């Protein structure tokens, strides 16, 4: 997990990527095992747990942050954090259950004005679970006074 936490600021219990599998210049593949003891399964849904779609999306967004951090690695770690700027075309195809290990893939489609337009998807084995297009900027967030 240190390969992940060395690159992005996310930490448990809000870290949804376990490991980086492969990385090329414009894409990254990661993996996540959804553990039955995670607190959100207690309420989503009692007696029939299913991984919340918003957390599946978050795992894709965190994988995108890993891709960007890896691209910046040779230039020194940038200041700030990865900030989500846009989400569109989210498609859920299949549920993810406690104990499932998913593969998350993200690629950069375009870069414009400091924004990285990306596409990502999740697979559970050979079955596609989710696809999403999104944009990320690496920025220093303003701290409220």
Q: Is residue 145 part of a domain?
A: no
Number of domains composing the chain: 1
pLDDT tens-digit map of 43-93? 999 999 999 999 999 999 999 999 999 888 766 656 778 899 999 999 999
CA–CA gap between residue 29 and residue 120 (Å, rounded): 10
Q: Is residue 83 part of a domain?
A: yes
Q: The pTM is what? A: 0.93
pLDDT tens-digit map of 121-142? 999 999 999 999 999 988 887 7
Q: Indicate the helix (H) or strand (E) that contains 131.
A: strand 127-139
Give the pLDDT score at 62.
97
CA–CA gap between residue 56 and residue 66 (Å, rounded): 16
Residues acting as catalytic residues: 44
Give the pLDDT score at 1.
66
Range of the domain at 59: 2-139
Longest distance between any two alpha carbons in the chain, whole Å: 48
Q: Is residue 112 part of a domain?
A: yes
Give the pLDDT score at 141.
74
Give the pLDDT score at 16.
98
CA–CA gap between residue 16 and residue 31 (Å, rounded): 9
């Amino acid at each position: 997990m240190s390969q992940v936490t060395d690159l992005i600021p996310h930490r448990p219990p809000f870290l949804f990527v376990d490991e980086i599998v492969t990385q090329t210049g414009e894409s990254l593949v990661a993996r996540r095992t959804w553990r039955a003891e995670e607190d959100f399964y207690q309420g989503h849904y009692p007696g029939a747990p299913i991984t919340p779609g918003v957390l599946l999306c978050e795992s894709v967004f965190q994988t995108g942050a890993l891709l960007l951090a890896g691209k910046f690695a040779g230039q020194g770690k940038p200041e700030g954090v990865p900030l989500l700027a846009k989400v569109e075309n989210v498609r859920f195809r299949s549920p993810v259950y406690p104990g499932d290990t998913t593969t998350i893939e993200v690629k950069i489609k375009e870069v414009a004005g400091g924004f990285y337009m990306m596409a990502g998807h999740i697979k559970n084995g050979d079955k596609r679970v989710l696809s999403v297009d999104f944009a990320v900027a690496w920025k220093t967030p303003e701290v409220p006074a």
